[in-house]
Amino acid sequence: MRLRIADELLGADSLDSLTAVQLRLLVDELLSDYAACLDNGEIDRWPDFFTDDCTYKVIARDNHERGRPLATILCESRGYLLDRVRAVQETSYYLPRQLRHVVSGLRITGHDGDEIRAEANYAVFRTMPDEETRVFNVGNYMDSIVLDGTRLKFKTKICIYDSILIPNSLVYPI
């Protein structure tokens, strides 16, 4: 029994033959797997969701909309992601925290053969030791997704967050 929608639908070499319904279900599964990876604290698996030449960016909405380059996190290849993983794992003053992603409103906004563009809203909750759970970071994803072998991966993932006030430690990816 095949459990993953990707295993069921992604047999061919291209995304061309997929229907709108199939694309929607595939990207939904990818976003769910991505969120679970981060929420389960498996940050060493996080770079596997990206292509080698990926761009990963976390940026305030204001900067994004005005075309300002200033981003809170900017990784311009998978190597950068690996560096960030190491940074998170080795930062000693970094208190343990629990993130929890709630993602909804997925929309497939573009598709040209090899590349899917998708957007979704996210709300990330954070729980620090001995504190109540709080709203941590809210915004939307703007993703470009490609088929890498038999797996969907992010070629671009931009996390555009709504509040310029973020807690002083946006170390962990969104």
Residues in contact with a copy of itself by the rule CB under 8 A: 1-5, 7-9, 16, 19-21, 23-25, 29, 31-33, 35-36, 39, 61, 98, 100-113, 119, 121, 123, 125, 127, 130-135, 137-140, 162-165
Q: What CA–CA distance (Å, rounded) separates 147 from 150?
A: 6
Nearer to a copy of itself among residue 119 and residue 148 (C-beta): 119
Angstrom CA distances, 14 to 34, 82, 159, stand at 22, 28, 26
CB nearer to a copy of itself: pick between 140 and 156: 140
User: Which residue type sits at 114?
Assistant: D
How is residue 152 annotated by DSSP?
E
Q: How far is the CB of 104 from a copy of itself (least distance, A)?
A: 5
* Cβ nearer to a copy of itself, comparing 100 with 151: 100
Environment class of residue 59 by beta-carbon count within 10 Å: exposed (0-12), middle (13-18) or buried (19+)?
A: buried
What is the smallest separation between the CB atom of 57 and a copy of itself, expressed in angstroms?
Answer: 18
Q: Which residues contact 42 (CB under 8 A, 6 or more apart)?
A: none
Least Å from the CB of residue 77 to a copy of itself:
27
Which one, 89 or 98, has the nearer CB to a copy of itself?
A: 98
